[in-house]
Amino acid sequence: MSPVAPVTDPAERPIEVHDLTVAYHKKPVLWGIDLEIPKGKLVGIIGPNGAGKSTLIKSIMGLLPLSSGWVKIFGEPFKKNLKRVGYVPQRESVDWDFPVSVMDVVLMGRYGKLGLFRRPGKKDREIARECLEKVKMLPYANRQIANLSGGQQQRVFLARALAQESDLYLMDEPFAGVDAATESAIMDIMHELKDRGKTLIVVHHDLPTARNYFDMLILLNMRLVAFGPTEEVFNYELLQKTYGGRLTILSEVADAVRRKEI
């Protein structure tokens, strides 16, 4: 259901998803998703809780097994194009008591480029410092991550993603629980990345701001409700379909599938 004209060269398409069905603990949470995301856009994923937004991101990256369908990143399966994808997970997924400094975390973003036995070198540190500078966290470079506020933690994650120097960025709720200053800082960086031709897919939790932040929106509620430019897609009818809850049958049947399996 993509109204954007498809680009002919598959290697130029950042993400192509075909008939993606994903089950979580044996219960289907995403049904038959088709997506073709064009290059250089800022795309938001919105939908109610439990709609499968994080699941979509994780299955695109191959972190969850697919019940059916396939995913291609720049025309290849994910494993072949690992280095071109940057991932910013949810903040809760990490233990913030870990004995690493801000600089250590950002350097982790360089590991993909380094391979198995090499250590981060001077060039990597330079890049890390630049990324920290961009998110305005350079003064904290040697601080342990436990002492940071929520907004600061998010910026560190963003710096790590920047350090990956990817072409495609997948972010899971980067704006959740951050202060206004951090939010606008993150937005600025996203625009800068977009201007440089990068593609960003962002799971977003807040409906009103979605309209202003993103070029295109994916409306998701267990299945794809709509995907297209924000002005076309952000209307009452489609939002009603997304958030409206008329699809109780879908979730009931999903439960039935899980129970029958067990």
Handedness of CA 40, 46, 51, 53 (dihedral sign): positive
CA distance 201 to 42: 6
Minimum CB–partner distance for residue 214 and other proteins (Å) = 20
**Toward other proteins, which CB reaches closer, 33 or 189?**
33
30: left (phi over 0), alpha (psi -120 to 50) or beta: beta
112 binds other proteins (CB under 8 A): yes
CA atoms within 13 A on the CB side of 219: 24
State the helix-helix crossing angle for 150-163 and 122-134, rounded to 10 degrees. 140
Of the candidate residues 3, 146, 181, 188, the single one contacting other proteins (CB under 8 A): 146
Nearest to 165 by CA among 114, 116, 204, 117: 114
CA distance 4 to 1: 9
Of the candidate residues 17, 29, 56, 105, the single one contacting other proteins (CB under 8 A): 105
65 binds other proteins (CB under 8 A): no
Which of these segments, 45-53, 83-91, 183-191, 192-200, binds other proteins (CB under 8 A)? 83-91
Query: How many residues would you count in the chain?
Result: 262
119 binds other proteins (CB under 8 A): yes
Nearest to 128 by CA among 115, 149, 114: 114
Site for other proteins in 17-36 (CB under 8 A): 19, 21, 31-32, 34
Applying CB under 8 A, which residues contact other proteins?
1, 19, 21, 31-32, 34, 58, 61-63, 68-69, 79, 82, 85, 87, 89, 93-95, 97-101, 104-105, 108, 111-112, 114, 116-117, 119-120, 140, 143-144, 146-149, 152, 160, 222-226, 246-247, 249-250, 252-253, 256-257, 260, 262
